[in-house]
Amino acid sequence: MKDPLNILILFLFWSYSFAQTAKEVVNITSSEESVLVIDNYIDPLFFSLNSSDYLNIPLIEKTTDILVQHHVKQIRLTGHCSDAELKTHPTVSLERATKIKNLMKSFGYDPNSIEIKDVKNTQPVEWTGNNEENQRVEIIILKA
């Protein structure tokens, strides 16, 4: 059995870390388009296989409006792809993040406030590697 003191110390450290993080968080919620920010993470945007075309334009517009209204200063768009896509279309994850950046720019978000990170298939959500959950762009709030 684990030492209760170590468990308590770990819990207190985790609680303190969470409290420090929570001070820097912008909570943005919207019931209209299921835009939800938990900590600094917005629900990912999903794409079809080998495609950088994002079809839910109203969601991007609403997300951008919320970021602008709450004066979010810096975000990161992280492009992901599945294992199969990496073999057939190795630039698709970068193309996805760039597409979202351009859409956000068209809806009034400063493109200089958007950092793009291309991680390809290195951070899968679904470990089989060829799941549509891996065909995504994540929006991370870096500076609120």
DSSP string, 29-64: EETTTTEEEETTEEEEEE--TT------HHHHHHHH
- Domain for residue 81, yes or no? yes
Q: How does pLDDT run across 112-127, given as a tens digit for each residue?
A: 999 999 999 999 987 7
Domain extent, residue 125, equals 27-143
Task: Name residues whose C-beta falls within 8 Å of residue 41's C-beta, 6 or more positions apart in sequence.
Answer: 138, 139, 140, 141
- Domain for residue 4, yes or no? no
- Domain for residue 7, yes or no? no
Residue 32: the pLDDT is 41
- Domain for residue 19, yes or no? no
Q: How does pLDDT run across 23-52, given as a tens digit for each residue?
A: 344 444 444 444 545 466 688 999 999 999
CATH number at residue 121: 3.30.1330.60
How many domains, in total, are found in the chain? 1
Average pLDDT, the chain: 79
- Domain for residue 2, yes or no? no
- Domain for residue 64, yes or no? yes
- Domain for residue 59, yes or no? yes
- Domain for residue 84, yes or no? yes
